[in-house]
Amino acid sequence: METLQEKSKFKMLREIYITETNCITPLGFDVESNIEAILRGDSGIQLHNDISLMPNSFYASIISDEKINSSFSKISTETKYSRLEKMMILALEPIIKNSKVELNSKTAFILSTTKGNITALAHDSEESFNNAHLDVLAKNVSAFFGFQTQPIVVSNACVSGILAVSVAKRMIQSELYDNVFVVAGDEVSQFVLSGFNAFQAMSELPCKPYSKNRTGVSLGEATAAVLVSAEAKNAKIKVIGDSSINDANHISGPSRTGEGLFRSIQNALKEAQIEANKLDYISAHGTATPYNDEMEAIALNRLDLQNVPVNSLKGFYGHTLGASGLLETVIAIESANRNILFESKGFDEIGVSESINVIEKNEEANIEIFLKTASGFGGCNTAVVFEKVK
Amino acid sequence: MTQNKPNIQSYIKIENNEIVLNGTSAFKTEPTDFADFAKQAYRNFEMQYPKFFKMDALSKLAFLGSELLLSPITSTEDENNIALVLANKSSSLDTDVKYQESISDKENYFPSPAVFVYTLPNICLGEISIRHQLKSENSFFIFDAFNGEFLSNYSNILLNTNKADLVLCGWTEFFNDNYKAFLCIISAAENENYKNENINTLYHK
């Protein structure tokens, strides 16, 4: 009896939509300017010489401080916010306003990040140390808008941003909330640059996902924000399946068989009740490290998805860590609604052992259903399936 | 969907040099630092998993707790669909501070990949997943204080939507040798032992 009840519950779950999106990146401070830049083929990745960040010059996708400060001054005169907090507030502000959603007990706030205000650790004071706490970051951003519910922080390495969409979907389906504002953000910092460099995972040139001559990541920074809602009005896309499965293999490298990603995609498709051959597009992770890209190609082939057009947006934005999954979802939603497949920037010659259909130039295509994936340290993977709203 | 009360199957607490399993003291040492306590606990329970010694303190804490809850119920032959849902306040800051020290001094600049990898709170989920071969849902959350309501709700969602058969959820807080772990196994089926308890009452007990 319990089982029957559970089954019927499963079928009665609410439908979940994304109704608002925004992003703050080196390519623009709203979605429209980002899409225009992508269509022009611009990249945020530039050569930087900044010894406060790295002893040597490096390629990264970094937002100008001036632009953050001038944009922020238009919405607030407060000076207490950190650079990342300003970027997060800038991403959330227009969508909260546009949505007209009341910030009451049925509206949640999820903040997702890999390292948050980690730059605060470089300053040796108690106040600064306190700001390095992710709950403090979330409280600061939440208080700016006056959310009534306690902020939820998702910190699950590089899947954080897309996992936050899953968490939002699940919480709305359980009817705890009707609306969830999700923000994701990470900065380029000395902390992260030195770590990826110590792993010898940094590319000497702008990153080249899935390419033969790829040598590693270019780091980037961005914030992105979406409203996940049970309300179909003004929906940009429907969220129809999701899963986050661990590789159970290694903490700092992906499974060679892509097991966790394979299972995540398989489960997400199953929940969405979609056959693999119905996917029109895959927005993949594609960090451009030799192991990650190879693992993804293997997982996609195991699912017979090798012919589905796939891109990595890391060539435009670099690897924005916890922000990447949400930022790339925001861009992929535009891709679907405009019926344009965006080029996988930086790609030249296929460099993974099993073939995949990397998008080489912008092209028109009908996109009804797409998949977003991400993978990260700790063996984590997330897959979410989206369907265009009719 | 209505939220059911979570069905707690078993629970563990680690704090003040003591491990309490299902309400009974299972291991205790004289006051000592966490590294020493963890080593003694590992030896006491004959865990035989040398990777343990490479872990940072947060992972050791989460590992010790999960080991005693999961070992009796996981099988090496069958798939175990046990989700992991952990949370804390200090994220991986204990290791973050150590890593920051290794890069702050330009004269003594030595960023280590082995330390850097532990500057993520979800690494402890990876360690537990590897140990028990859990190819399952996992996520790490941060709150300013123990949030039993969220842990219960989220665990129930995973069970109710068939994303997991069981959930190991809890709080694993570690910073500067101050630690507290509270972990429990939650299932769809009711357990008579904890009929009148919930995560909050057990955490504060």
Residue A220 at interface with chain B, using a CB cutoff of 8 Å: no
Q: pLDDT band for position A114 (50/70/90)? A: very high
Q: With beta carbons under 8 A apart, name residues in chain A contacting B190.
A: none
Q: Mean pLDDT throughout A84-99? A: 98
Residue A175 at interface with chain B, using a CB cutoff of 8 Å: yes
Q: Mean pLDDT throughout B43-48? A: 97
Query: Which of A5-9, A167-171, A352-356 is least confident?
Result: A5-9
Q: pLDDT band for position A374 (50/70/90)? A: very high
What's the pLDDT at B107?
82
User: Does B154 contact A245 at a Cβ distance shorter than 8 Å?
Assistant: no
- Judged by DSSP in three states, A285 sits in coil
* pLDDT > 90? residue A9: no
* pLDDT > 80? residue B189: yes
User: Does B100 contact A122 at a Cβ distance shorter than 8 Å?
Assistant: yes
Average pLDDT of the residues of chain B: 94
Facing A244 at nearest CB: one of B91, B138, B141: B138
Whether A193 and A220 have beta carbons less than 8 Å apart is answered as no
What's the pLDDT at A13?
84
Tokens of A105: 């007990």
Go through chain B and tell me how many residues it has: 205
Average pLDDT of the residues of chain A: 96
What's the pLDDT at B197?
85
Higher pLDDT, A318 or B79: A318
- Judged by DSSP in three states, A240 sits in strand
Q: Mean pLDDT throughout B182-192? A: 92
Helices A290-302 + A259-272 axis angle, to 10: 40
Q: pLDDT band for position B4 (50/70/90)? A: low
User: Does A267 contact B116 at a Cβ distance shorter than 8 Å?
Assistant: no
- H-state helical runs in A236-305: 259-272, 290-302
* pLDDT > 80? residue A195: yes
Q: pLDDT band for position B78 (50/70/90)? A: confident
Q: pLDDT band for position B76 (50/70/90)? A: confident
Domain ranges of chain A: 15-229, 239-387
User: Does A118 contact B96 at a Cβ distance shorter than 8 Å?
Assistant: yes
User: Does A377 contact B137 at a Cβ distance shorter than 8 Å?
Assistant: no
Residue A190 at interface with chain B, using a CB cutoff of 8 Å: yes
Helices A190-198 + B93-104 axis angle, to 10: 80
Q: Mean pLDDT throughout A74-82? A: 97
Residue A130 at interface with chain B, using a CB cutoff of 8 Å: no
* pLDDT > 50? residue A250: yes
User: Does A153 contact B141 at a Cβ distance shorter than 8 Å?
Assistant: yes
In a domain, B119, yes or no: yes
Characterize A282-305 residue by residue with b for buried, 16 or more Cβ atoms within 10 angstroms of its Cβ, and e for exposed: bbbbbbbbeebbbbbbbbbbbbeb
Q: Mean pLDDT throughout A109-126? A: 95
In a domain, B37, yes or no: yes
Facing A121 at nearest CB: one of B97, B121, B147: B97
User: Does A198 contact B113 at a Cβ distance shorter than 8 Å?
Assistant: yes
User: Does B139 contact A198 at a Cβ distance shorter than 8 Å?
Assistant: no
Task: Report the alpha-carbon distance of residue A23 to residue B84 in Å, rounded.
Answer: 30
Q: What is the pLDDT of residues B169-178, one digit of tens each?
A: 999 999 999 9
B13 beta partners? B20, B182
Task: Report the alpha-carbon distance of residue A294 to residue A264 in Å, rounded.
Answer: 17
- Spatial neighbors of A24 by CB under 8 A, at least 6 apart, are A63, A68, A87, A90, A91, A222, A223, A224
Query: Which of A33-42, A309-318, B53-62, B68-77 is least confident?
Result: B68-77
What's the pLDDT at B1?
41
CB pairs A-B closer than 8 Å: 168
In a domain, B1, yes or no: no
* pLDDT > 90? residue B3: no
Q: Mean pLDDT throughout A235-258? A: 97
Q: Mean pLDDT throughout A209-234? A: 98
Q: For A15-229, which CATH class?
A: alpha beta
Task: Report the alpha-carbon distance of residue B20 to residue A309 in Å, rounded.
Answer: 53
> How far off is chain B from A49, nearest CA to CA, in Å?
17
What's the pLDDT at B64?
98
**pTM over the 0.95 mark:** yes
Q: Which CATH architecture has domain A239-387?
A: 3-Layer(aba) Sandwich (3.40)
User: Does A12 contact B1 at a Cβ distance shorter than 8 Å?
Assistant: yes
In a domain, B102, yes or no: yes
In a domain, B2, yes or no: no
Terminal-residue alpha carbon distance, chain A: 36
In a domain, B49, yes or no: yes
Q: pLDDT band for position B135 (50/70/90)? A: very high
What's the pLDDT at B196?
82
Q: Mean pLDDT throughout A277-289? A: 98
Q: Mean pLDDT throughout B36-48? A: 97
User: Does A175 contact B127 at a Cβ distance shorter than 8 Å?
Assistant: no
* CATH code, B20: 3.40.47.10
Nearest CA in chain A to B98: A121
In a domain, B183, yes or no: yes
Nearest CA in chain B to A4: B160
* pLDDT > 80? residue A3: no
Facing A135 at nearest CB: one of B84, B113, B142: B142
Residue A180 at interface with chain B, using a CB cutoff of 8 Å: no
Q: pLDDT band for position A120 (50/70/90)? A: very high
Q: pLDDT band for position B2 (50/70/90)? A: very low
Looking at the 3D structure of chain B, how many domains does it have? 1
What's the pLDDT at A11?
53
Residue A51 at interface with chain B, using a CB cutoff of 8 Å: no
Task: Report the alpha-carbon distance of residue B52 to residue B57 in Å, rounded.
Answer: 10
Q: What is the pLDDT of residues B84-106, one digit of tens each?
A: 999 999 999 999 999 999 999 88
Task: Report the alpha-carbon distance of residue A126 to residue A87 in Å, rounded.
Answer: 24
Q: With beta carbons under 8 A apart, name residues in chain B contacting A261.
A: none
Residue A32 at interface with chain B, using a CB cutoff of 8 Å: no
Nearest CA in chain A to B133: A248
* pLDDT > 90? residue A8: no
What's the pLDDT at B110?
87
Q: Mean pLDDT throughout A118-133? A: 92
Q: Mean pLDDT throughout A321-338? A: 98
Q: Mean pLDDT throughout B150-177? A: 97
